[in-house]
Structure 1
Amino acid sequence: MNARHDHNEESKKNVIILVLDTFRAKEFEVAADLPTFSSLRENGATFENAFTAAPWTLPSHASLFTGLHSSSHGANAGHKHLAEGPVTLAEVFRSNGYETVAVSNNTWISEEFGFGRGFDEFRKTWQYVQSDVDLGRIARTEEGIAKLTALGRELVTGNPLVNVTNAIYGQFVRKQYDDGAKQTNEWIETWLTERTDSSPFFLFVNYLEPHLEYHPPKEFAERFLPSDISYEEAMDVPQDAWGYIAGTVEMSEQDLEILRCLYRAEIAYLDQQIGELKALLEEQNEWEDTLFVVTGDHGENIGDHGLMDHQYCLYDTLLHVPLLTHGGEFTGGREIDDLVQLTDIAPTLLDAVGIEAPEFRDQMQGRSFHPDADTEPREYAFAEYMAPQPSMDALEKRVGDLPDGVYEYDRSLRAIRSTEWKYIRGSNGSEELYNVADDPEESENLVKANPEKVAELESTLDDWLQSFDHADADGTVSMRDETKERLEDLGYLQ
């Protein structure tokens, strides 16, 4: 049983951030009917207009941890690493007496890419024994004698027993049930029930289930699939995002709807897993002493805008994410319409637990949305897509010759959004303007119809870009071959 039960008024609350990788707000009306999300909505606070700062995992998490946008923290497709410069939220919590723990199911979110800073413990669920060497690549890419030969060659690196254990785990055990949520919760249960530290804790979790490929447990899938589609038929539907974008894989509208059903089933499964985590916190007498945050790092396109996965655009399908909070001042079932960004979570949490951290606050571009903060609500949200990921070269290597239209994606993008309007500008000179209040699907580009609004938003975007120092990080970042292989498994082509 946890030793930390007797809290006085001065003791700081625990803080938990759960990132549901690839969880888009567009699906939240479905999620809102699920028991755990419903309970959080009814008893916490829901932010209806929450937006990420970037449309994919690496830069979005970097923004969450630093309170900075991509141009400032420098982690993007052109520089795949969170550099040492910015202070991270975990570092602030640790320096203020918190035990800091992370559990990641996504390869991008690991020490290798700069996310270990400030964490006392960083658990990677794709390894049974935590190690810098990952032989799971061999288990996935070699067969028969070649597998044994390659394994023997690599055993000289690091601890042979650890390496073999992790290779077997990656091949035969890890994905027997899900994308890591079950193992994550089991590990958290062991950690939480055995800890004797009386200090508060900061726990960060990345759950991967809503990410491609979608393969929810059968009983969850069958709740969402059309009655005339079996689970086996659903799992045969192609999930090749890059083939779809390049036009080499044909997808019918029914195929796409089946994928949407599988995606919703993944979210329903995570609702159950988060409910189990909440029950554990209650059993350990920690729930009432915990600030609990659930969000997505970005959304997903499932045929939307002719795209799959979460690249090549800054539409709300990728930028608009759910944000649920519970604990402290975030109670009572409040629904808040103010614009907020993931960059705003860090200063809000510091306000909620009474941490000053002046250096960190000076660094951040985010603004607190805590009820007691003396900040004005946002007028605009900003987002950046600094370089295409995967690059056109990587896409060509994967699918061959590309249709001319695909090369339009070979550009960077920036967006500015109010509650009514959204303007997107590309480095190739492209411009898009949408009245998102009337056209939430962003289907009618109003650039030519409303040049005054274009000029106004472009000027505001430029003013914002000139208001802060930009990172000078550029060029490629080296990563281990096994990490590249694992990222390709997730559909991230290098």
Structure 2
Amino acid sequence: MRPNVVIVVLDTARFDDARGTVGGAPVMPALDRLASEGTECIRVSATAPWTLPSHASLFTGTYPSKHGAHAGHKRLTDDLPRLPSVLQTAGYETVAVSNNTWISGEFGFDIGFDTFYQTWQYIQSPTDLGRIARTRHGWEMYRSLARELLSGNLPVNVLNALYGRFGRKRTDSGAAQTNEFVRGWLRDRTDDAPFFLFVNYLEPHLEYRPPKSYTDRFLPADVSHDEAMSVPQDAWGYLAGDVELSAHEFDILRGLYQAELAYVDDRLQELLTTLDTATDRETFVVVTSDHGENIGDHGLMDHQYSLHETLLHVPLVMSGGPFTGTGEVSRPVQLVDLAPTILDTVGVDAPALRTETQGLSFHPDADDRRDYVIAEYLAPQPSMDALEKRVDAVPSEVRRYNRSLRSISVDGRKLIRGSDGSRWLYDLTDDPDECTDVSDTHPSVASTLEQQLETWLDSFDHATNRDGPDIGASTRQRLEELGYLQK
């Protein structure tokens, strides 16, 4: 009997905080318990530093150059096999709950799911008025609503607008509502088939707004919750030099970030408890993240313009089947490896996906071992044009971020290469924080890694350039609420 499969993505959870301790206690004790019962991979790398391309890699088992979803083409197209569709064909009921606007039907992520629930809507609809109702006031709100109301089903649009304005819970970014939906779905479910449940929790994402009861443990001793909430969280203003933040203020922001992780950890425990009590079938649980976060690291905030380990090194904990009680896995793993590993775990052949995947199964019975780790940032997000609309002026030193980046890591040596000819080499063993570029002192190592990267790029067909989707006004504005500036 095939097991249920559950994938939980802790959006924006970087490894060192999600798996770290504060005051001798784990930041995320529920995740810690799951790791002690199952298997934890401690050297896991995302394939991209932000949501859209990273989730696309998780679903398809391919890198951004192959699946083609990135800032230059903001949609995962249906020309590659993907894990939800494969499991659906194999007889699984497939359900997704998303709290992140990027992970929606508008960007191609609903394919293969029987149910796709977006927590920012009361009634699921392609027209999203909740953002307007939450952020506009007075006549401005009514004018904006009037323009959008006729773009779809009028009664549904009105109800969603009212829900966004008055009904949606504001104590979190959707985790509590997610768990409520899952409880109801499992309670009402009559299907005996196994299920595949995908959940994206958004809480660790900017802005950091944890409940007050979670902040005391993580903030500096001399800082109150209210004082912490007054620290600017404008990543793009900081980047442009319009907002100044001291080292102490970044310590405060990191405390808020850790409090967000602690809060979502409690919601994770609720979900795991619900799954334990709601089904008799064995459930294979995967908890990971799509990318990390810069909190002043490398002169950056948020999760753009960089391929440092602060953005790529993510947690991965699994429990169930062959991953029960097996401890730590220390060999390199990437998110592209999850799809073939899950197929091996549940016993689904899926030859089309296995042919296309660039991932390597790390199932205990698999023989493959990863020789290198690849990451790609194929277009800046936000673009310089979008950034110019947000800040007073884009300094020349910021314009250097108008480039694509690729990285390759082999045996503790990591090369990052920019499309502008820039190149950095880091020794991750001696310099895990990537503070010192050693490309000048080890030019032969840098050249060897660059040649390995070129060989890899030549080994597969790349996605062709295509126009991205025409993002709707409400979706565009909701993304900007999350810090994703749009043209």
Bin for the TM-score computed over the shorter chain:
over 0.9
Match of 1:132 in 2: 126
Partner residue of 2:14? 24
Provide the residue aligned with 2:396 in structure 1. 404
The answer to whether the aligner puts 1:366 opposite 2:351 as a matched pair is no
State percent identity of aligned pairs.
Answer: 56
Instruction: Say whether residues 1:343 and 2:336 are aligned partners.
Output: yes
Task: For 1:191-206, list aligned pairs within 5 A.
Answer: 191-206=185-200
The answer to whether structure 1 residue 89 and structure 2 residue 83 are counterparts is: yes
Give, in angstroms, the shift of residue 155 of structure 1.
2.7
Give the corresponding residue for 1:293.
Answer: 286
Specify the code of the residue in structure 1 equivalent to 2:150.
V
> 1:226 is matched with which residue: 220, 223, 230?
220
The question of 1:449 aligning with 2:445 is answered no
Deviation for aligned residue 1:32: 4.2
What is the CA–CA distance in structure 2 between the aligned matches of 1:230 and 1:367, rounded to whole Å?
A: 47
Identify the range of structure 1 (354-363 vs 26-35) with the bigger mean alpha-carbon deviation: 26-35
Q: What is the match of residue 385 of structure 1?
A: 377
In 2, the alpha carbon distance for the partners of 1:464 and 1:150 equals 48
Letter aligned with residue 18 of structure 1: V
Task: Out of 142-151 and 67-76, give the one that drifted further.
Answer: 142-151
For residue 385 of structure 2, what is the amino acid of its counterpart?
Answer: D
Q: Secondary structure at the match of 1:103?
A: strand
d(CA) in 2 for partners of 1:77 and 1:152? 30
How big is the shift at 1:182? 0.1
How far did 1:333 drift? 4.8
How far apart, in 1, do the equivalents of 2:147 and 2:447 lie? 60
Name 2:53's counterpart in structure 1: 59
Which deviates further from its counterpart, 418-427 or 100-109? Answer: 418-427
Q: What pairs up with 1:6-405 in 2 under 5 angstroms?
A: 11-27=1-17, 28-30=19-21, 32=26, 34-286=28-280, 289-375=282-368, 377-405=369-397
Asked whether the equivalents of residues 285 and 318 of structure 2 are also in contact (C-alpha less than 8 Å), the reply is: yes
- Deviation at residue 257 of structure 1 after TM alignment: 0.5
SS of 2:321 mapped into structure 1: coil
Inter-partner Cα distance in structure 1 for 2:147 and 2:485: 26
Counterpart secondary structure, 2:331 = strand
Does the Cα contact within 8 Å between 2:27 and 2:258 map onto a contact in 1? no
* Greater mean alpha carbon deviation, residues 484-493 or residues 146-155: 146-155
How much has 1:452 moved relative to structure 2? 1.1
Select between 466-475 and 134-143 the one with higher mean Cα deviation. Answer: 134-143
Deviations 1:357-386 (A, max 9, x none): 1111001000100001132x1111100000
Q: Secondary structure at the match of 1:263?
A: helix
Return the alpha-carbon distance in structure 2 between the equivalents of residues 157 and 470 of structure 1: 36
After TM superposition, which residue ranges in structure 1, 4 or more long, deviate above 4 angstroms?
none
* Distance in 2, Cα, partners of 1:33 & 1:260: 12
CA distance in 2, matches of 1:431, 1:52: 20
Per-residue deviation, residues 399-432 of structure 1 (Å, max 9, x unmatched): 0212211011010000001241100000000000
Distance 1:309 1:150 in 2: 29
Report the Cα offset of residue 454 of structure 1: 0.6
Tell me the distance in 2 between the aligned counterparts of 1:442 and 1:203: 36
Evaluate the alpha carbon distance shift between residue 332 and residue 248 of structure 1 in structure 2; reply closer, same or farther with a 3 A threshold: same
Distance 1:44 1:397 in 2: 47
- RMSD, aligned α-carbons: 1.3
Deviation at 1:130, TM superposition (A): 0.7
**Corresponding position of 1:4:** none
1:464 counterpart (433, 450, 456): 456
**Does the 8 Å CA contact 1:339/1:419 hold for their aligned counterparts?**
no
TM-score, normalised with respect to structure 2: 0.97
CA distance in 2, matches of 1:423, 1:216: 36
Whole-angstrom CA distance in 2 between matches of 1:451 and 1:145: 62
Partner letter of residue 132 of structure 2?
I
- Corresponding position of 1:6: none
CA distance in 1, matches of 2:8, 2:120: 18
1:414 and 2:411 correspond = no
Counterparts of 2:117 and 2:30 in 1: how far apart (Å)? 25
- Residue 133 (structure 1) shift: 1.1
On the 8 A contact 1:53/1:342 being kept in 2, the answer is yes
> Structure 1 residues 281 and 137, CA, compared in 2 at 3 Å: closer, same or farther?
closer
Do the aligned partners of residues 342 and 239 (structure 1) sit closer, same or farther apart at CA in structure 2, a change above 3 Å counting?
same
Q: Residues 144-174 of structure 1, C-alpha deviation per residue, up to 9 Å, x if partnerless?
A: 1232243234333332221122112212332
Q: Deviations over 1:299-322 (max 9, x none)?
A: 000000000000001000000000
Instruction: Report the secondary structure of 1:329's partner residue.
Output: helix
Deviations 1:226-262 (A, max 9, x none): 2211101111100000001111100011110111000
Counterpart of 1:423 in 2: which secondary structure? strand
Q: Name the SS for the 2:348 alignment partner.
A: coil
In the alignment, which residue of structure 2 is the partner of 1:3?
none
Question: Using the alignment, how far apart are the partners of 2:326 and 2:232 within structure 1?
Answer: 40
Task: Give the SS at the match of 2:20.
Answer: helix
Please state how far the C-alpha of 1:26 moved relative to its aligned partner: 1.9
Matched AA of 1:38: D
Compared CA separation, residues 192 and 156, structure 1 to 2 (3 A): same
Unpaired runs of 5+ residues, structure 2, are: none
Provide the C-alpha distance between the structure 2 equivalents of 1:343 and 1:367, rounded to a whole number of angstroms. Answer: 8
The residue type paired with residue 29 of structure 1 is G
| Superposition TM-score, scaled by structure 1 size | 0.95
Provide the rounded CA distance (Å) in 1 between the counterparts of 2:147 and 2:463. Answer: 40
Following superposition, the deviation at residue 456 of structure 1 comes to 1.0
CA change 1:441–1:55 in 2 (3 A) is same
Shift of 1:33: 5.1
